[in-house]
Amino acid sequence: MLDRWCGARPVASEEPRVYEPTEDDVVRRGLQSGDVQLARVGRVIAGPGSDEPYVVLDEDGRAVEPVSAWARYMAVGDHSPRTIRSYCYAVLMWFRVLWQLDVRWDRATEAETAALVGWLRIAPNPQRRREAGAPAVNLKTGKPNLGLGYGAATINLTLAAVRGFYDFHAHWVRGPVVNPVPESPARRRALAHRGPLEPRQAHRRGAHRQRAQRPGPRSIPDAMWNQFFAQMPCDRDRALVACFVSSGARAEELLGAEVDDVDWAGQRMSVVSKGSRERRMVPLSPEAMSWLARYLRTFEGHATGPLWRTVRGEPRPLTYGAARRVLQRANDVLGTNWTLHDLRHTAAMRMVDSGVLTLPEVQVVLGHADLRTTSIYTTPRIDEVIDKMHDHYARPAPPPRRFAPGYAEDDIAIIFGGGVHE
């Protein structure tokens, strides 16, 4: 073996060795090629309290203690429960790969990271709904249709969660010596000591990180909005989308509102901000207030509590999945692919295009921490640009320039920079 690494030539009588993959290699390659299906064992459940909001269970229903310790650490560090939930699901995917390969969590290497990323790149996402043969881009909205697999942002979030999990245990001298998820030194240098007003420097992606493009804002044009709003079957759905498109609130902010959070005299609503988790006021249009009043008439004996509730059976708080399903039903009829976040984009674009609000004022309404985030809504919509281009194509060609006879063509060409048309 030493001669092999030192570059010594083998004896002529030795036969060349043929590499035979081990059973572990076959499983790793099978995960990356899709020939081996990752076992969907384990699950994430609600935790015992606010100090541990979510718990990861293994295939036997026992709590994975290394993940529980990390979740308790994040809860003490004032991480959002939704963030802890998403990180727990990401780490559960990592542990499924380790269980499949029969590798202990504290013995994991970059090879397991490659197996995880390879599987995520080709595996179907059970939460994606797309018919076979659907085009890559929706021609009515101009938005790309989501593929059947996991997106680049999901893969990168999973890698960030796994790296944070091992960074936590490395702080307490647990786990492998080297973090299984490598970090990009160029990214670390580019983001170090950078002022908030300095432009972001370009840097190389870390190993196994995917190329993720940040999509621009997608707002619903006014003509399509009327068709979309007409598909709402009940007063609750009409009030919901009207409040979304007039307040510009995020989905979880609006869905978490209470009945007492509505200020009827001031035509506004109090919501809990996603980032800072502080209370802030968002405006509501007169139309949204009207639909909201019609919807609240159905609250008999329930004058307090969650503002958005189910309309069938026993009233329950409306979840994000149920609100998304409201839009999916309208999309199925219209052949569109609008999302809840598109309603926030629509509200922002309307505020910017109104000419009444300044950009810092729009920033306050949307709850952005950085004005540069709000500035993306100054980008014109592609459908508006295409309509203007069609008007440009329909214009008649400008008449040729004519000059009185007697002038030399060479002199006119020198002065006006072109030929003469008589």
The one catalytic residue among 209, 250, 309, 345: 250
Give the whole-angstrom CA distance, residue 68 versus residue 141.
43
Per the annotation, the verdict on 344 as an active-site residue is yes
Per the annotation, the verdict on 368 as an active-site residue is yes
The one catalytic residue among 62, 329, 341, 372: 341
Nearest to 57 by CA among 47, 70, 44: 44
The one catalytic residue among 87, 150, 295, 377: 377
Q: How many residues does the chain have?
A: 422
What burial letters (b/e) apply to 38-61, b meaning 16+ CB within 10 Å? beeebebeebeeeebbbbbbbeee
The one catalytic residue among 140, 163, 268, 274: 274
Per the annotation, the verdict on 341 as an active-site residue is yes
The one catalytic residue among 28, 96, 344, 345: 344
The one catalytic residue among 28, 238, 309, 368: 368
Catalytic positions are 250, 274, 341, 344, 368, 377
